[in-house]
Copies of this chain bind each other. A is one copy, B any other.
Amino acid sequence: MEDKAQIHEAIKVQGELVRKLKSEKANKEQIDEEVAKLLELKAQLGGDDGKHQFVLKTAKETLTGKYGEDSKLIYDLKDQGGELLSLRYDLTVPFARYLAMNKITNIKRYHIAKVYRRDNPAMTRGRYREFYQCDFDIAGQYDAMIPDAECLKIVHEILSELELGDFCIKVNDRRILDGMFAVCGVPIDKFRTICSTVDKLDKMAWADVKKEMVNEKGLSEEVADQIGEYVSMQGGMDLAERLLQDQKLSQSKQACAGLSDIKLLFSYLQLLQVTDKVVFDLSLARGLDYYTGVIYEAVLTQTGVGLGSTEAQQEAHAEDSVSVGSVAGGGRYDGLVGMFDPKGRKVPCVGVSIGIERIFSIMEQKAEASAEKVRTTEVQVMVVSAQKNLLQERLKLVSDLWNGGVKAEMMYKKNPKLLSQLQHCEEAGIPLVAILGEQELKDGVVKLRVVSTREEFDICRADLLAEIRRRTSEA
């Protein structure tokens, strides 16, 4: 068995290496080589060791034998009558489909729900295969750029209020990209794929992006260089004005329409007081096909700074500060609803997706790094007993507190020790303790203890609710 333990350890290490290479998108040969080593190690364990590799999945077998005769209602995924089913990739396409199916021509709504991606998960960066998104969208035929500006205001407000560190919202327009590709000489059938390549500029250097354009996508060096010049440009309303005068770009009607809208957008953003964080950035492409106008992406520029105490943590954070990056993105998609309508009726839409899980992972890292304790419950008062045989009195008091709207709890034990009850309060960060003892019951009072200062006061039963409310509203 000694050997087996060693092999298990080796499998663990090798498995981590493979995951690391995959998440870093190392070259295929290298990954294949290490996977082969991993399989070799696993083969050494032989069949008798299957138990150790037993992993429970949320599959059919999890649900069998638990529901008795109701089992017939379990929703199996195998027999969908031969339909090809997929899990939703984002909340935008389902939203557009919902509008079309229900013939809704204007609506403003937010939606928080799960989406699914067959991607390489990276837990520390808040990247999972199943994760939550929060979408906000405005659908309807309105005057140009007014709802678009509101979306950017909302992103600005969320990221400011959450205090995630400095951030920047990049803005561009699909029409400007298309116009730019056209005047640079990109063949029209290559617009979308070149767009995807430009989208990689936030992770790759221009030299590598150019290489992909020329070697893989078949552009000439000259065309690629022209694109390179444009996509290096960043600015504000002034850049939009300058590009409207650009000899080459102004030849494209599409580009001019996009540039005018960017100008208008910035004028609204000034009134909404958010231009400090918004940058017109011609390298912003966003890969999704459905965008038709303005596009944007919010990027954290300061994560990882000051976080993490050990060297290893700091290294991990340095990596994160690059890769967590984008926390929100969106744009205008005027054609998507029409794709689901039998008569092709269009409903213009603009929206934003907020990467909740990514934001949570940053907030968790921040909380870990700070001395501040993160509470996982909102309990305001713990009802405890100082002596034995006071369960009934605790139940009565906790019931009174619940009826009075106070968030209270007690231990589910007949005779818990006072010390362990008080310790629980310290650990869970519960601010107040209501202590019941024989003396207190005789006097018709409750001893109220403030956990942080360890002060204790006798409070008359009739005044207890008011006193707790006063003390908890202070905090």
Contacts and interface: CB of A to CB of B under 8 A. Distances in A.
Interface of A: 51, 54, 56-63, 65-70, 72-78, 83-90, 93-94, 97, 100-101, 116-119, 129, 138, 140, 142-143, 146-147, 149-150, 153, 157, 192-193, 195-196, 268, 271-273, 287-290, 336, 339-340, 342, 391-392, 395-396, 399, 402-403, 412-414
A85 B77 contact: yes
Contacts of A60: 83-86
A454 B58 CA distance: 58
A126 B294 CA distance: 40
Contacts of A273: 399, 403
A93 B66 contact: yes
Contacts of A54: 342
Given A119-B73, A271-B396, A287 B68 contact: yes
A77 B77 contact: yes
A89 B63 contact: yes
28 contacts: A56-B100, A56-B101, A56-B340, A58-B88, A62-B93, A62-B97, A63-B88, A63-B93, A66-B288, A66-B289, A66-B336, A66-B339, A67-B290, A68-B289, A69-B287, A70-B89, A70-B288, A74-B86, A74-B87, A74-B118, A75-B116, A76-B86, A143-B413, A150-B412, A153-B399, A153-B402, A268-B395, A272-B395
B412 A143 contact: yes
Contacts of A117: 73-75
A153 B142 CA distance: 50
B413 A67 contact: no
B66 A412 contact: no
Given A77-B85, A97-B58, A68 B288 contact: yes
Contact of A67 (B57, B89, B94, B140): B89
A54 B341 CA distance: 11
A157 B406 CA distance: 13
Contacts of A138: 412
A412 B59 contact: no
What 7 A-B pairs are tightest by C-beta distance, nearest first? A142-B412, A60-B84, A75-B87, A75-B116, A271-B395, A68-B289, A146-B412
Contacts of A288: 66-68, 70
